[in-house]
Chain A
């Protein structure tokens, strides 16, 4: 038992080590995108000469000789074997190399690996270095073009040449030799037992692989690609390069005319404030610096209102306000509408969107406890009743938020949405959907009650239907399971006197979901939309969505992307295109054209531009990208 226990212990610790290694390499090379350019983590079992043997997770390299030909280790009596051992490795033909699994990514900036000489074997003809893909492996590193090595027997460095240059000390059993590649300067240096030996090669080509070569029997070396702590203090050099890059950025000379920092920065701040609708701040700043504000104050305030709604999770209201203030915007941009609706669905699950369960949302908001339709039970009838309450609550809330709603305008908005956003055969459902905006009079609440009580059978939502149906059943059977837990939070629901109305609200959500699905069908199919929808629907599959694998969607911070998208769309209005939005939603600010700059504030455009440039630098093999720490630069 004890043995088993300890066995498990080691296993665990190994796993621990495994996960540590991942972190170590990630920490060393944070700017490397391993999906694009994987880091070398072991020697390649394929990219090696046959005389080379690998073991210990492909980190240990030993010289085994060939299976045939001059290097083959024959089955011989002991003395004969000694004779063979003696002869073997005498010529360059016996040399054999192995490369790492991947080339060194430029985004490492500074790459480093160490090799411990476990045994120097018979003669210690070992070479440690770098070589490009396809360089002959029947050689020691350094002898051929695009191959670089430091050899243990003479301490010479070999730079794509058969003759070496005096470089450093010799190395032998027990020594640890490190090889560092500076991808900013394209130089290579070595270390011996943690001591920097100086630069060995300059002007290195890109995409080199860590390489070791052995030539005589008994030579064994272990590699450390960063999974273990290095003997040499590579962090020190990384800090130096970071400081150097920082200095280069700070001291970059600007051409005349563009060097007026004060002006540029004021403009940046001002546009940022305007962009995000920080109206009074922007005005104050404008007064202090004399920066003109291009946009009408009223217009900024309008955007601010919309943004506030989105950020507080009241997407329905936000959509409504947008329709009223910017008629035609959402109709033109179906992708944006879809994004908003998806978020609205999520907020319904979250219990924050007013139309899902207005009163409880308010209750939750005032109590500071997250509530959900799913956990709340509300009878259709009671729902209508609750809506009346909701109205009052909303008004209170609006009072704080300064959200002037007027009935007349609102109703126009409703009409507009009905025609534009909903498909013909689903117009009925759409209108009900629209109803979910907070009702402002009792009559409206009644209409809502009627439409809401109409139930449609589940249909046409493959994948999601089954799980939702199961959920429905569960809720119908024991609708109060969750309620007990959160009962305290919904005093008003209790006041309504009915604790088992989950069905209706879930059904309303389902109906909403069906609309959403139908809407997605009409949009150009693309993976992003699809996965967004699936993620949103997946929330229903869990009894506690907050604690589920897809629970991240419920975090308030997720609203920011939606808010930004909507804000940008309002600002850019017609100029934005579908693909831009798609990219934007995915968080990829890849657009370069200056024409559409309005939809993103200059400061963000600047940051996004820099991010993209860093990515491009990485692809173009410019190692300095590793040390341009954008967040740090922005923080300053």
Chain B
């Protein structure tokens, strides 16, 4: 039976496919209709027809302006039908230039005709299959203006199709600006306006909201235009405010809240604007509640995390809205990756700044055990989100000492970071490590045993600045008030060469943290002497490099602080006294116009000449020779340095 139908298909298709090439228009139409009917609803037939190489002929029939309009229409509809097939079918169609041909068709055919509608439907189907052939639609202003005109004036189907296509197409800053210039905002406003009933129909509103969100994403200029675009007596934000209300379909409310969120984050609406505070925020909090379908909750949580990411007042507000935290804790238990990820991200945003909220997240909702277990989730996006959440929560000193310790959070984290993770995960994870390695953190010791030092040292060799920064930062934290063996281990592992490399880093923050690490390494007197006995030349060289180089003042300040620390060491200070270069620099810095550099230089000098120590007199004399006293007198005369006068330099 199966055999027979296949045979018949091929048999029958052969005949009408031949007809497609007939010079007789009526025969071509008949063949097209037969072809169209045969491929509708059957992926197998679509594949078969495409394999037979009919597509170029169809495109030709569609594009030839000399042909009967009916032929062109039927050909376009058939292409549209083929574009609804499998991803492979669509890929083949795109390869054969379907997308470009359709775009060309749209350039010429008058708006409002059936041909335009069929062409748009086909192009939409093509665009909905990732990867969309973005390049087929150039950012040509005439074309875009024409498309937005269709979005305003076309038939209902054409409007929805064109906006859908544009929403997929609008993926970057250039596209956003081009669409904005072509008047897409006005078209969107028209599509969001009320229909005869109280709300625009779902099919019309959803693509428009999608396009608006994509256009406003991180684009302050477009957001500002959207803010002022009106349809009838309502501006776009006012239309959105209508759509976020509770009686609207959930996807529409979510889409509208998303647009308001993006407009806010692009800087066009302030965080205390009513449309954010009473429009987007409560809507998203409501969409996170248990009554909502999972996919809505997932997207709402993710959007809310973006909304509240930076603003503390919005975080506080969200935290009390509609039991949001319970809702999120519940979403964490949802099976889908999107939901878990959204919930973790949202928790991360909520806890970003406010200690109270962090405490509530952890204490009332027992989130930590979920984070720990999801950090082992096979899905990378979930692992990433869980670590993000952990990072946000790790900003709490109290939590570091309690919950983090109770759950031995560092274990899965270390495991994750050692397990060759992606850059993003590594960035967030190492940021978390920085917090976990703070001196008051009880996780510090066990992490050292797990090879944290080696891992961090490796991080400092990464090409990504953020990773280098996190690595060196974590090392700095680790070295703070650490035991000598830890310090030795860091120095040993990092190596002086790497340290010099870091001092020459393109990122000033990395240099700052490297010097900070040196300072922390050279803290208490015994440690200073011990380390200097081993690395004196390298350290002194590093300091000189910085002091001589063209670094910003705060970097040089760090270098002077290191000198100060060295000057505190029993034997170590001799390394300074022996280095005339350094001493001369010190005198120079005492006269430096930058007061914080003067201050730091003063700190070094006072350490060197402290009289209770052995050999102080000799050092005083040496410094006096170099003109320190003169520099100090000048300093004393300066009004703005008054706070520096109170020191023991003249105490003799």
Contact = CB atoms under 8 A, between A and B. Distances in A.
A237 B286 CA distance: 12
Q: Which of B245, B247, B286, B321 has the most CB of A within 10 A?
A: B247
B247 A239 contact: yes
Contacts of A243: 246-247
Interface in B269-327: 278, 282, 285-286, 289, 317, 320-324, 326
Contacts of A169: 320
B364 interface: yes
A266 to B, nearest CB: 26
Nearest to B289: A198
A196 B322 contact: yes
Interface in B236-279: 245-247, 278
A242 interface: yes
B245 A196 contact: no
A239 B286 contact: no
Nearest to A197: B320
Nearest to A196: B322
B282 A198 contact: no
A332 interface: no
**9 shortest interchain CB distances as A-B pairs:** A240-B246, A198-B323, A239-B247, A243-B247, A198-B322, A240-B247, A236-B245, A169-B320, A196-B322
A139 interface: no
A233 B320 contact: no
Contacts of A198: 289, 321-324, 326
B355 to A, nearest CB: 15
Residue from the set A192, A194, A236, A240 with the largest chain B CB neighbour count within 10 Å: A236
Contact of A195 (B245, B247, B289, B320): B320
A239 B289 CA distance: 19
B317 A195 contact: yes
Interface in B323-379: 323-324, 326, 364
Interface string A155-199: 000000000001011000000000000000000000010111111
B272 to A, nearest CB: 12
Contact of B321 (A166, A195, A239, A240): A195
Interface of B: 245-247, 278, 282, 285-286, 289, 317, 320-324, 326, 364
13 contacts: A192-B320, A194-B278, A195-B282, A195-B321, A196-B285, A196-B286, A196-B322, A198-B324, A199-B323, A233-B278, A239-B246, A240-B246, A242-B247
A197 B322 contact: yes
Nearest to A200: B323
Contacts of B282: 195-196
Nearest to B283: A236
Given A195-B282, A195-B317, A197-B323, 11 more contacts: A169-B320, A194-B278, A196-B285, A196-B321, A197-B320, A197-B322, A198-B289, A198-B322, A236-B245, A236-B247, A240-B245
Nearest to A231: B278
A237 B246 contact: yes
Interface centre among A166, A169, A195, A243 (most CB of B within 10 A): A195
B16 to A, nearest CB: 41
Interface size class of A (residues with CB under 8 A): 10 to 19
Report whether over half of chain B's contact residues are helix, strand or loop; otherwise say mixed. Answer: helix
A199 B247 CA distance: 18
Interface in A186-241: 192, 194-199, 233, 236-237, 239-240
Contacts of A239: 245-247
Contacts of B321: 195-198
A78 B647 CA distance: 54
Contacts of B245: 236, 239-240
B241 to A, nearest CB: 10
Contacts of A240: 245-247
A195 B322 CA distance: 8
Contacts of A192: 320
Nearest to B274: A194
Contacts of B323: 197-199
Contacts of B317: 195
A251 to B, nearest CB: 15
B320 A168 contact: yes
A566 B105 CA distance: 70
B310 to A, nearest CB: 20
Contacts of A195: 282, 317, 320-321
Contacts of A168: 320
B346 to A, nearest CB: 16
Contacts of B326: 198
A635 to B, nearest CB: 12
A193 to B, nearest CB: 9
Nearest to A167: B323
Nearest to B320: A169
Nearest to A192: B320
Contacts of A242: 247
A192 B324 CA distance: 15
A636 B289 CA distance: 32
Contacts of B320: 168-169, 192, 195, 197
Interface string A541-569: 00000000000000000000000000000
A195 B282 CA distance: 7
Contacts of B246: 236-237, 239-240, 243
B466 to A, nearest CB: 36
B199 to A, nearest CB: 10
A237 B324 CA distance: 18
A240 B282 CA distance: 14
Contacts of B286: 196
B205 to A, nearest CB: 16
Nearest to B244: A236
Nearest to B363: A166
Contacts of A199: 323
B410 to A, nearest CB: 30
A168 B247 CA distance: 26
A221 to B, nearest CB: 20
A243 to B, nearest CB: 4
Nearest to A166: B364
A195 B281 CA distance: 10
A199 B326 CA distance: 12
